[in-house]
Amino acid sequence: MRVVFGMIVVCALLIAGFTFYPVWTRLSDMKQDLARQTARLEELKKATAERELQVHLLQTDKEYLEMIARDRLDLMKDGETIFRLSSAKPRS
């Protein structure tokens, strides 16, 4: 009688294991995916905050706007000469 009861318990545990193992691995995968997506969300929030600050500065700070225009558009004032120094490594 004990052997039969033991085999029933073992069979029940095997059935439970085979039933819940795929669910458990899927849950683990989903937790890892959630962690990756949360990290990506934080990166995007940081980038958004930086962009919002840049937009705010472009709209309100004339000196910042002038600096960006000079740097990106190569604009200059009358009589001004711009020298650009290359930081590229010389070829071997």
Please write the tens of the pLDDT for every residue from 28-78: 999 999 999 999 999 999 999 999 999 999 999 999 998 888 888 877 777
Between 81 and 54, residue with greater pLDDT: 54
Element (H, E) at 3: helix 2-60
Helical pair 62-73 and 2-60, crossing angle rounded to 10 deg: 100
**pLDDT at position 90:** 65
**pLDDT at position 14:** 86
Sign of the CA dihedral running 29, 33, 38, 43: positive
